[in-house]
Amino acid sequence: MRLGVAGAAVLAFGPLAAGADPPAPALAKAVEDLEPYFTPQEKFRDVSRGKPLPHSLPDKRKREVGLTRETWKLEVISDPDNPTKIRSPLTQKDGTAFDFDGLMKLAEKHAVRFAKVMTCLNIGCPLGMGLWEGVPLREVIWLTQPRDNLRRVFYYGYHNDDPQQMFRSSLPISRVLEDPFDLPPVILCYKLNGKWLDSERGGPVRVVVPEAYGFKSIKWLTHVVLTNLYHANDTYAEGNNDVDTWLKTFAATLSVPHEVKPGAPIPITGYAQVGLAGLSKVQVSIQSNVAKRNDDGDPLATGNWTDAQILPPPKHWSDLPGGKIIAGTPGFDTATGQPHTWPMRLMKVHWATLLPGLPAGKYILRTRTIDEKGIAQPMPRPFQKSGHSAIESVDITVKS
Ligand SMILES: Nc1nc2c(c(=O)[nH]1)N[C@H]1C(S)=C(S)[C@@H](COP(=O)(O)O)O[C@H]1N2
Ligand SMILES: [Mo]
């Protein structure tokens, strides 16, 4: 089903460079100038909090508080307020806390990798796109031999030993113990794009939750707490956020000529975030901004949407070693490194379109996506606290 719809989308529009008609030079140039596919670690946008920011601590202090691979310690315990029955808690006090060597032992057998955009629920565009590697969190939870009264897990990282600074997130235990709908597991992540996870990205070890917005992916992880609490206790809940939401599908522009000559075709490129709903099409609409706005701000109602070309997967996956998807990444062919399906959920795609020339005037360009089920996304959805996914509007002026 997924292969069908997603595959059809690519075939119908054809890979840009391989089409019968070579793309117009203006569009070819815009496509060539697109951003790199994967984001180098240091180029991610950093929105993490802490005074001081944990990644800015001097190396000596990092060693003291366990923020290096050599000194990292993870406690996995029962919640004293809503206890889970576990046989073997992993604690500093008993000298049983989990360490990086233990993680690497588990990695020999259980390491997994997946590509995912890291997007903050409160910020429109992804902070970065990464190939994340780690050990499923459940492997470490099993070490404690949980027995009874286990409904959720919550977790937090180093926060300068100041309770006010704790940034916590939580998940139902079922999400950790099994992976629904083909999703990758929730991981204890230690590598990004084939390199050790650096301190700014949450190293030595962070959680990464594949289908979630950034706030579930706790950095500088130090504590995993097994609990019989039946509801979320995320720090983000206090900020009026929808803490059960998952990654949305939407499109946005990357390059738009803000002023063009009358009759000149208009090259446009952009990206789409492929959320859990999948992606079958990217569409654009251009309207005169003086046209009667019968839509009341709802461009979905106007219906003059045209399909953009979803670009094929890159030949060179920039920022990965050798520009190649690391062998053994599920969803990618081991020999060619090409994805089995495209677009793939949790990742982003690039798109391009050449709009026909227009008479002089002022216009508004909008972009949207059609999900795998054929439903336009974003739905007219004012609920920004479920993850930003607005229809973007960009002004274009046509004048001689
Ligand atoms: N310990 C800790 N983890 C954290 C945060 C934080 O402030 N402290 N911020 C979260 C939020 S809100 C987001 S969006 C992501 C951002 O991940 P990045 O910095 O790798 O892009 O980290 C999450 N993990
Ligand atoms: Mo965030």
Residue 216 CA to residue 183 CA, distance in Å, equals 15
DSSP state of 332: B
Q: Is the CB of 218 under 6 A from ligand 1?
A: yes
As a whole number, mean pLDDT of residues 36-49 equals: 94
Are 163 and 277 in the same domain?
A: no
Q: Is the CB of 363 under 6 A from ligand 1?
A: no
Residue 119 CA to residue 134 CA, distance in Å, equals 19
CATH number of residue 258's parent domain: 2.60.40.650
Are 285 and 193 in the same domain?
A: no
300 CA distance to ligand 2 centroid (A)?
28
Instruction: Give per-residue pLDDT as tens, 338-370.
Output: 999 999 999 999 999 999 999 999 999 999 999
Dig out the tokens for 396 from the structure.
């274009």
CATH number of residue 57's parent domain: 3.90.420.10
Instruction: Give per-residue pLDDT as tens, 60-98.
Output: 999 999 999 999 999 999 999 999 999 999 999 999 999
pLDDT band at 25 (very low <50, low <70, confident <90, very high): confident
Identify the domain containing residue 157 by its residue range.
Answer: 41-239
- Listed in sequence order, the DSSP H helices in the chain are 2-13, 25-32, 59-64, 100-110, 137-143, 173-177
Last residue of a domain, one of 194, 215, 239: 239
> In this structure, which residue's CA is closest to atom 4 in ligand 1?
218
Are 329 and 218 in the same domain?
A: no
109 CA distance to ligand 2 centroid (A)?
32
> In this structure, which residue's CA is closest to atom 12 in ligand 1?
215
Are 232 and 321 in the same domain?
A: no
Last residue of a domain, one of 239, 257, 277: 239
As a whole number, mean pLDDT of residues 2-19 equals: 39
201 CA distance to ligand 1 centroid (A)?
8
Averaged pLDDT score across all residues of the chain: 91
Are 206 and 71 in the same domain?
A: yes
